[in-house]
Amino acid sequence: MNLPGVNPAWDRYVAVPSTSSVDPQNSTYLWHVLDTHAQASAEAIENVSVTLFCVHGNPTWSYLYRSVLAAANERFPSVRVIAVDQLDMGYSEDTHQDRTLPDRINDLGDLSRALGIDGSPVVTVGHDWGGIISLGWALQHRENLQAVSLFNTAVHPAGFQLPPALQLALHPAVHRWGTQDTSAFIDVTLALAQPTLSKDIRAAYKAPYRGRERRRPVRQFVADIPATPAHPSHAKLIEVSEGLRDLKVPAFFQWGPKDPVFSDRYLNDLIDRIPHAQVHRYEGASHMLPEDRDVATPLLEWVEGLGTSRENSQFPVSQEPLRFLSAELENRSSDTTTACADILPDGNVQRVSWADLSTRVDRLAAGLYELGARPGSRVSLLVPPGTELTSVVYACLKIGAIIVVADAGLGTKGMGRAIKGAQPDFLIGIDRALSGARVFGWPGRKIAAAMLPEGVKGTAKRRALNAETDLADLERRGQDAIANGWTPPQLDPDADAAVLFTSGSTGPAKGVVYTHRRLAGLRDTIQQTYGLRAGTGLVAGFAPFALLGPALGAVSVTPDMDVTAPRTLTARALADAVAAIDATAVFCSPAALENVVATAQGASLPGVELVLSAGAPIPVPLLEKVQTIFPKASLHTPYGMTEALPIADIDLQALRAASSSSKNQANGVCVGTAVSGATIAILPFGTPDAEIAEAALTSEPGVSGEVVVQAPHIKERYDRLALTQAESARIPGWHRTGDVGHYDDAARLWIEGRLQHVVTSASGPITPVAYELAAESVPSVQRAAAVGVGPAGTQALVIAVEVDGAKDGLASAALAAEIRAAIAEHVADPAPVSAVVTTRIPTDIRHNSKVDRTAVAAWATEALSGGKVPRRLPRAGGIRS
pLDDT value at position 310?
45
293 within some domain: yes
Last residue of a domain, one of 487, 518, 549: 518
- 25 and 152 share one domain: yes
1 within some domain: no
Which band of pLDDT confidence, cut at 50, 70 and 90, is reported for residue 881?
Answer: very low
- 34 and 125 share one domain: yes
374 within some domain: yes
pLDDT value at position 175?
82
Last residue of a domain, one of 698, 722, 755: 755
CATH number for the domain that contains residue 807: 3.30.300.30
- 812 and 745 share one domain: no
Last residue of a domain, one of 236, 271, 304: 304
Pair 4, 96: CB distance under 8 Å: no
Mean pLDDT rounded to a whole number for the chain: 92
420 within some domain: yes
- 676 and 772 share one domain: no
Average pLDDT over residues 143-156: 95
881 within some domain: no
Average pLDDT over residues 332-342: 96
Which band of pLDDT confidence, cut at 50, 70 and 90, is reported for residue 314?
Answer: very low
272 within some domain: yes
Please list, in sequence order, all residues whose beta carbon lies within 8 angstroms of the beta carbon of residue 632, skipping any fewer than 6 positions away. Answer: 606, 607, 608, 609
Closest C-alpha to 138, from 240, 235, 56: 240
pLDDT beyond 90 at 660 = no
pLDDT value at position 311?
45
487 within some domain: yes
pLDDT beyond 90 at 812 = yes
Average pLDDT over residues 143-168: 82
pLDDT value at position 316?
53
Which band of pLDDT confidence, cut at 50, 70 and 90, is reported for residue 159?
Answer: low
pLDDT value at position 317?
56
Q: Hey, is 421 helix, strand or coil?
A: helix
Q: How many domains does the chain contain in total?
A: 4
Of residues 67 and 119, the one with the higher pLDDT is: 67
CA dihedral of 113, 117, 123, 129, whole degrees rounded to 10? -30
> 76's torsion region: left (phi>0), alpha (psi -120 to 50) or beta?
beta
Which band of pLDDT confidence, cut at 50, 70 and 90, is reported for residue 824?
Answer: very high
Which band of pLDDT confidence, cut at 50, 70 and 90, is reported for residue 167?
Answer: confident
- 694 and 843 share one domain: no
CATH number for the domain that contains residue 290: 3.40.50.1820
Closest C-alpha to 574, from 551, 607, 532: 607
> Which residues span the domain enclosing 479?
355-518
Q: What sign has the CA pseudo-torsion 96, 98, 103, 104? A: positive
pLDDT beyond 80 at 513 = yes
Instruction: Quote the percentage of the chain above a pLDDT of 90.
Output: 81
- 212 and 289 share one domain: yes
Q: What sign has the CA pseudo-torsion 558, 562, 567, 573? A: negative
What is the tens place of the pLDDT at every residue in 584-642?
A: 999 998 889 999 999 999 989 999 999 999 887 788 889 999 999 999 999 999 999 99
- 802 and 661 share one domain: no
What is the tens place of the pLDDT at every residue in 532-547?
A: 888 899 999 876 677 8
pLDDT beyond 80 at 667 = yes
In whole angstroms, what is the distance from residue 285 CA to residue 844 CA? 24
Average pLDDT over residues 705-730: 96
Q: Which amino acid is at 518?
A: R
What is the tens place of the pLDDT at every residue in 205-246?
A: 999 999 999 999 999 999 998 888 899 999 999 999 999 999
pLDDT value at position 869?
65
In whole angstroms, what is the distance from residue 209 CA to residue 140 CA? 31
pLDDT value at position 783?
92
pLDDT beyond 90 at 321 = no
pLDDT value at position 618?
82
CATH number for the domain that contains residue 434: 3.40.50.980
- 742 and 808 share one domain: no
Strand partners, 507: none
What is the tens place of the pLDDT at every residue in 739-753?
A: 999 999 999 999 999
546 within some domain: no
Average pLDDT over residues 721-727: 96
In whole angstroms, what is the distance from residue 656 CA to residue 666 CA? 12
Query: Of the ranges 252-261, 520-529, 655-664, which one carries the lowest mean pLDDT score?
Result: 655-664
Strand partners, 253: 150, 279
- 364 and 446 share one domain: yes
DSSP 149-206: EEEEE----TTPPPPHHHHHHHSTTTHHIIIIISSHHHHHHHHT-SSPPPHHHHHHHH
In whole angstroms, what is the distance from residue 607 CA to residue 246 CA? 60
- 447 and 461 share one domain: yes
Which band of pLDDT confidence, cut at 50, 70 and 90, is reported for residue 308?
Answer: low
What is the tens place of the pLDDT at every residue in 46-55?
A: 999 999 999 9
What is the tens place of the pLDDT at every residue in 419-458?
A: 999 999 999 999 999 999 999 999 999 999 999 998 888 8
- 747 and 765 share one domain: no
Average pLDDT over residues 117-144: 97
In whole angstroms, what is the distance from residue 859 CA to residue 177 CA? 47
pLDDT beyond 70 at 266 = yes
pLDDT beyond 60 at 315 = no
pLDDT value at position 852?
87
In whole angstroms, what is the distance from residue 741 CA to residue 719 CA? 27
In whole angstroms, what is the distance from residue 705 CA to residue 689 CA? 14
pLDDT beyond 90 at 563 = no
- 372 and 473 share one domain: yes
CATH number for the domain that contains residue 695: 2.30.38.10
What is the tens place of the pLDDT at every residue in 468-488?
A: 999 999 999 999 999 999 999
